[in-house]
Amino acid sequence: MKQNPIEFATIPVVAAFVGISTNYAGVQMLFYPIEYIGTDTVRFDNAPYGIFGWQGVVPARTEKMALRLVDIVTRKLLSLREAFSRLDATQFSSMLLEPVSKAIHEECGAHWSILLKPILPMILKRVIGKLQNEIDNVLDLPTLVLNAFVRDKVVLVELFQKVGHVELDFLVKSGFGFGFLLGLPQMMLWSIIPKPWTLPMAGALVGYITNWVAIKLLFEPAEPIMVGPLTIQGLFEARQHEVSDEFAHFMEARVLSSSMLLDALANHNEDELFQFLRKELPYPIPERIIKCAIKAIRDVASNPHQYKEIHTYMTDKLAIEDTLARRLKKLDPKSFEDLLHPVFQEDEIILIVVGGVLGAIAGIVQTKFTFQGTNARMKAGSLLVGSLIASYGFWNMSGAEVSSGNVHNNASLYEPVIDRVPTKLRRRVTIVKTPLD
């Protein structure tokens, strides 16, 4: 080591590079590509991998992961009947009066518009009141949430990236520190056993262990454990309040907005809505009028800027974001963990093994490049500098890419929630909480 200090110094530095680069690759493999890339000759059902291809873990298992989220949201967090009961039937029906009257006039003619004008406010108020009590029969919340994710896989990818941006960033950046620490015994091993297999084997262990340790630290221990004056808890569970706000904001903006609720009511649950209205509006009122009412709801759903007052009122009164955030914060840590852990649980062994394989490849390259052939010291210096520069690049890319989540054009809808996170929450990047935290 005294004779070849630069060559030996490359070992922990390259190990740090292996740690951060393999963890970065693992995070990318969780989400990308959105669609399967490769040959379909041998493709396993509901798996992200084939013999010659790959699809991001989340996009490949969208339906299964979405079902778990649906179960949490609909069973533990949100009730449509409770949310819709907050609407004032008189006020809400008066807001719907204009679009319903307009639809009747356009579709059924002026005579029906004039005939129904005196009684339409009373009819709408009565129908809204009845709908509030029967909303669970007319609008299927589990299907609504599931369809939002299944129709567009990017929505689920964005949700996990937004909710877990701190954890994903930690997963990548921690690879550098863990890799460097594991590289020190790797360096000692090479000084004792300088064999062609030493660095590849040690590199495989570094890649494997850094991924494994980082994933474990994200979620374990789920319950806080006191060690003297310190509290130790998995990084994700420790951020429960912050994550609850981010999750609730995303769900309200992208999955359960007023536009999406009305769209589901008038389009995806049109038959159920028609049967409900037919029951509430007896046959002197023809089917054409009922279809006009449904068309009016569809127009309101698809034109939020034109009917801004209606959507603002619904958003404020339904209070979906506030309800989700408040109840998420009350979940026990183990139940709360189910929001994000499925992303890693499904195929975490693949991500860990990939880290090992890439680490072994790095070890082979290092052996051939640094400790064999002529100009070893010059090549070692180049490898040292190159590894540090590349690690710095991965460090910066992880923070920018994970935090932005800019895989969808509507990212601005929910971006402000990140800005509302209190800056004093130093707990975000550590599993250890001091009394001052």
pLDDT bracket for residue 222 (50, 70, 90): confident
Query: Phi and psi dihedrals of 239, rounded to 5?
Result: -100, 25
pLDDT higher at 359 or 261:
261
pLDDT at 97: 87
pLDDT at 163: 82
Per DSSP, what are the bridge partners of residue 225? 232
Q: Any idea of the CA torsion for 154, 82, 84, 263, to the nearest 10 degrees? A: 20
pLDDT at 150: 84
214 with 26: CB under 8 angstroms?
no
pLDDT at 43: 67
Please give the distance of CA 417 from its chain centroid, rounded to a whole number: 14
pLDDT bracket for residue 429 (50, 70, 90): very low
220 with 235: CB under 8 angstroms?
no
Mean per-residue pLDDT of the chain: 79
DSSP state letter for 265: I
Among 221, 225, 212, which Cα is nearest to 178's?
212
pLDDT over threshold 90, residue 399: no
pLDDT at 371: 59
* Average pLDDT of the segment spanning 158-167: 84
Among 209, 204, 318, which Cα is nearest to 261's?
318
Give 335-383 as a DSSP string: HHHTTTHHHHHTTHHHHHHHHHHHHHHHHHHHHHHHSSSS-HHHHHHHH
Q: How far apart are CA 1 and CA 321, in angstroms?
A: 59
* Average pLDDT of the segment spanning 317-340: 87
pLDDT digits (tens, 9 = 90+) for 283-314: 777 888 888 888 989 999 999 899 999 999 99
pLDDT at 372: 58
Q: Which range scores top for mean pLDDT: 93-102, 197-206, 276-285? A: 93-102
pLDDT over threshold 60, residue 395: yes
Give the relative orientation of helices 376-404 and 5-31 as an angle to the nearest 10 degrees. Answer: 30
- Maximum distance among all Cα pairs of the chain, rounded to whole angstroms: 100
pLDDT over threshold 90, residue 368: no
pLDDT digits (tens, 9 = 90+) for 32-62: 888 888 777 666 666 677 777 778 888 888 8
Percent of the chain topping pLDDT 90 = 9
pLDDT over threshold 60, residue 324: yes
Q: How far apart are CA 201 and CA 155, in angstroms?
A: 40
pLDDT digits (tens, 9 = 90+) for 84-105: 999 999 999 899 888 988 888 8
Give the SS3 label for residue 48.
coil
The DSSP H or E segment spanning 38 is: strand 37-38
pLDDT over threshold 80, residue 366: no
Please give the distance of CA 248 from its chain centroid, rounded to a whole number: 12
pLDDT at 353: 78
Please give the distance of CA 323 from its chain centroid, rounded to a whole number: 19
pLDDT bracket for residue 213 (50, 70, 90): confident
Cα four-point dihedral sign 166, 172, 176, 179:
positive
pLDDT over threshold 50, residue 411: no
Give 224-254 as a DSSP string: -EEETTEEE--HHHHTHHHHHHHHHHHHHHH
Q: How far apart are CA 384 and CA 369, in angstroms?
A: 11
Query: Phi and psi dihedrals of 306, rounded to 5?
Result: -70, -35
pLDDT at 86: 92
206 with 16: CB under 8 angstroms?
no
* Average pLDDT of the segment spanning 253-259: 89
61 with 48: CB under 8 angstroms?
yes
* Average pLDDT of the segment spanning 200-210: 79
